[in-house]
Amino acid sequence: MKLHWIYIFLLCFGSSFAQSKKYNAIDISVSPLIDGTLLRPTSSEKMPLAILIGGSGPVDRNGNQQMIENNAIRFLAEGLYEAGIASYRYDKRIVKQMKNKTINEKEIRFDDFIKDASKIIAYFKKGNEFSKIYIIGHSQGSLAGMVAAQDGVNGFVSIAGAGQPIDDVIVTQLSQQAPGLQESARLAFDDLRVNGVAVNYSPGLSSIFRKDIQPFIRSWMLYDPMTEISKLEMPILIINGDKDLQVSVSEAEKLHKAKPGAEYLIIPQMNHIFKKIEGNDMENGKSYNQYNIPVMPELIDAISTFIKK
C-alpha cells in the first residue's frame, strides 16, 4: 500500500534552514511564533509583496522538514525576487515549538495556521511598504491562505491546493491506493466530525487517527476549500502540476468549479514541490530530498505575470 503518499504529513518533525546569501534578505519575526525571511529587490519604488504559506507538517521557510530538503519555497521566493517581486516566507509555528520543546500535539488546531497568516497580512499592511499584497498558499497552505486572504489582500494564488475537505481528500486517496481501508476511514471521519472522536478504525489507519492529533484533524475538516475560495473577491490563480502524487489535478478542477472566473493553469511534468519530473514515481519521490533541483520556471513565470497585471 502506498500510504506514504497520503496528503497529510503531520509528524515529520524537524527543520532545515538553508539560506541564500546573494539576495537582499531580512529576517523578520512577526510574532513570538512567526519567524521568516523577507526578500526585497533593491528599488526606490514600491513593489508587490507575496506572502508564501507552506504545506503540511513542520515545514520551515524554505519548504523543508527533518531529512527532507528540497528548498521548494526558497527557490520560488528567489524566482519571484528575480522578477522584481518581494516575498515573505516563514517557518510554521510548530517548527519553533519543536525547537523550544513547547509543542503539545493535543493543542494544535488548523485555525492556528490561519491566524498566523492573518497576523502576517496585518503586519505588512500596517507597514505600508508595498504596493500590493498577495497570498501564495501551497498544499495545506492553500486553504489556510484562502481563509486568511478574506482579511483583504490584492490577490490569491493556490498551488496544489485541495478542492475538498481534508477527510474527503484522504478517503479519495485511499480509494485509489488502499481501497480496503476506504470504508473504515469514511466511518471514522464521520464519527470524528459528529462526535469529536474516532474510536473504531482499521489499524492500518492509526497514523491518521492517532488520538492526540484527532482534534487537529477535526479542526481541519471544518473548512471546505470550495466554500472558502468562493468567498474571495479578488484576482485568483489556481495552479497544479500533472505529476503531483499528493494532490491530483481533479482537486484543482474543483477549486476552479467553485470560482470559474479564476485563472487556471495545469503545468505539465510539475510535481507537488514544483520540480520537473520526466520519469516515473521513483524519480518523483527522490526529488523530495534533492536540495539543488530548481523549481519549474513556468511556475515562476505564471505567478509573476499574474501579480504584475
Span 232-272, pLDDT tens digits? 999 999 999 999 999 999 999 999 999 999 999 999 999 99
Interval 15-26 mean pLDDT: 63
**Which residue, among 21, 305, 250, 251, has the nearest Cα to 140 in the 3D structure?**
251
∠ CA 65-66-72 to the nearest 5 degrees? 30
Assess whether pLDDT exceeds 60 at residue 18. no
Assess whether pLDDT exceeds 80 at residue 214. yes
Assess whether pLDDT exceeds 60 at residue 2. no
Interval 113-125 mean pLDDT: 98
Interval 174-203 mean pLDDT: 95
252 is written with which cell numbers?
484543482
78 is written with which cell numbers?
528567489
Interval 193-199 mean pLDDT: 96
Q: How confident is the model at residue 21 (pLDDT cuts 50, 70, 90)?
A: low
pLDDT digits (tens, 9 = 90+) for 34-47: 999 999 999 889 99
Buried b (16+ CB within 10 A) or exposed e, 240-263: bbebbbbbbeebbebbbebbeebb
CATH topology of domain 11-164+225-308: Rossmann fold (3.40.50)
pLDDT digits (tens, 9 = 90+) for 267-297: 999 999 999 999 999 999 999 999 999 999 9
* Domain regions of the chain by residue span: 11-164+225-308, 166-222
Interval 12-27 mean pLDDT: 60
| Phi, psi (deg, nearest 5) at residue 29 | -100, 110
In the numeric block, the cell 484522504 is attached to: 170
**Segment (H or E) for 220:** helix 214-221
